[in-house]
Amino acid sequence: MPTPSDSPKPLPLLHSMELDVNIFDTDCYGVMWHGAYTKWLEMGRVKLLEAQGYAFPKPGDPEGYVFPVVEQTLKYKRSAPYGDKLVLSTRLAVEGYKLLFLQNFRSQNTDQVTVEAVTTVVVVDAQWRVQRRLPEALKVIMGLSPGIA
């Protein structure tokens, strides 16, 4: 299982987004609840691919691909209190036919990383068949040479 420190080298793609630690994302101690991070991680992955020109398919689209999560590792480093402003940075690495999203949350108030995450996804087609080779359209979006992965 890859951890944030031993993941493959990321591609030169980067997406950053800001978010506020809202009251509905916090626990009874007033800090970001551990489970709330996963929705933001998903948003970061989607926004990175959209920023590269990938248009996510509508359900049932026979030409589209879906990216189910097969593994996710989070390392909680510091708490993020209610009212904090975080920056989520998302990078992408390729490991065979799997995509690894390397992400971290950094507090704008303290400039410290609060969470590091690695999310592994596979690419499946509309019939839910795992693609053992990355589709050419995704390679182009990622800036990979033909024949890689």
pTM: predicted TM-score of the whole model, two decimal places: 0.87
pLDDT reported for residue 119? 98
- Between CA 36 and CA 68 the distance in angstroms is 19
pLDDT reported for residue 136? 87
pLDDT reported for residue 58? 83
Three-state SS sequence of 74-105: EEECCCCECCCEEEEEEEEEEECCEEEEEEEE
Residues 2-34: pLDDT tens digits? 555 556 777 778 999 999 999 999 999 999 999
Residues 55-101: pLDDT tens digits? 888 877 887 888 999 999 999 999 999 999 999 999 999 999 999 99
CA dist 20 → 14, 28, 48, 103 (Å): 20, 17, 19, 17
